[in-house]
Chains A and B, each alone.
Chain A
Amino acid sequence: MIVVWSLAGAAAGTLVLSTALRLGSELRLTRMDLPFLVGTMVTGDRERAKLLGWGLHAAAGLGFGLVYAGIFAATGRSGWLFGAALGLLHGLVAGTAVVETLLPFAHRRVGSAATASPETPLLEPPGLLMLNYGRVTPIVNAVAHVAYGALVGGLASSAS
């Protein structure tokens, strides 16, 4: 049951996270666009990248819900607070190790510090904590991930 409730939380959490990021973008707090970032990993077409990226981002949101469910099941603990703490770690790791270590390997359409001027990468590299996308980006990212984690943890605790 904890898996089903965690997935329900992940579905709600992904919606909240995507909306929070979009809102942050509309309010000009950040230029970060995670679905576009994910979508351009598989296609060079901007419009298709947005659509595909949204689907992949939603799938990743559900997948991370399963990881959270595994942690809740293994420890026998869940709840809003524990979920929020995992969400904070999730957001920080995404902003540091993932963009610094995994992205340059997995993403061929993102620029780097060594990109020459005749080349036209689709995306600017995010930089540490995605600070290249705006100074407030780490805060928007952390808040969105904490909300995601709290929803997964909170709904998972309904299973017990």
Chain B
Amino acid sequence: MTLWGALAGGFVGSLVVVLGSDVAAWARLSRFDIPLLLGTAVFRRRTVAQAAGYGLHLLVGLSFAAAYGAAGVAGWGEGALAGLVHGALAVTVLFPVLLPLVHPRMALRGGTDRALVEAPGPLVLAYGRWMPVLLLVLHVAYGTIVGGFAGWAAA
């Protein structure tokens, strides 16, 4: 049951992350657009990329939640801690190093005519100076929800 709880948390947590990211963009704290960033890795047309990217982000959120569940993360505190580690990895490795390696339409690779999105840069600072803090906060929120829901399911 813990796994199902974690997955339910992954679904809700992913929605909270997109919402938080939208609010931050609206408040001009960042230029981070998760659906566009993920979707343009697969599709070239912006509207299609955004819709597909939204689905992809949900899938990524569910996959990480399954990993949290498999690692036995249960409880709000444990979840928050796991989210902090996850966020630190996202800020230092996942976005700045791994994503540009697999993303075919990032400004870093090839000519500018093929590029649709800017590379995140070290600590994702290319999308705004608050990005490291924002990503940490969003991942802690995500982890807290995943861990909390898994804890409920385990109880």
Chain A residues proximal to chain B, CB less than 8 Å:
70-71, 73-77, 86, 89, 92-93, 96-97, 100-102, 104-106, 128
Contact = CB atoms under 8 A, between A and B. Distances in A.
A101 B51 contact: yes
A160 to B, nearest CB: 13
Contacts, number: 62
B108 interface: no
24 contacts: A71-B11, A73-B4, A74-B1, A74-B7, A74-B149, A74-B153, A75-B5, A75-B152, A75-B153, A76-B5, A89-B15, A92-B19, A93-B15, A96-B18, A96-B19, A96-B22, A97-B19, A97-B54, A102-B50, A102-B54, A104-B50, A105-B48, A105-B51, A128-B26
* SS of B interface (majority): helix
B8 interface: yes
B111 to A, nearest CB: 26
Nearest to B154: A76
Contacts of B22: 96-97, 100, 128
Contacts of A77: 152
Contacts of B112: none
Main SS class of interface, A: helix
B12 A86 contact: yes
B54 A71 contact: no
Given A71-B12, A76-B153, 19 more contacts: A71-B8, A74-B1, A74-B4, A74-B7, A74-B149, A74-B153, A75-B5, A75-B8, A75-B149, A92-B19, A96-B18, A96-B22, A97-B19, A97-B35, A101-B35, A101-B50, A105-B50, A106-B51, A128-B22
A77 to B, nearest CB: 5
Contacts of B16: 89
A109 B4 CA distance: 39
B47 A76 contact: no
Contacts of A73: 4
A77 B1 CA distance: 12
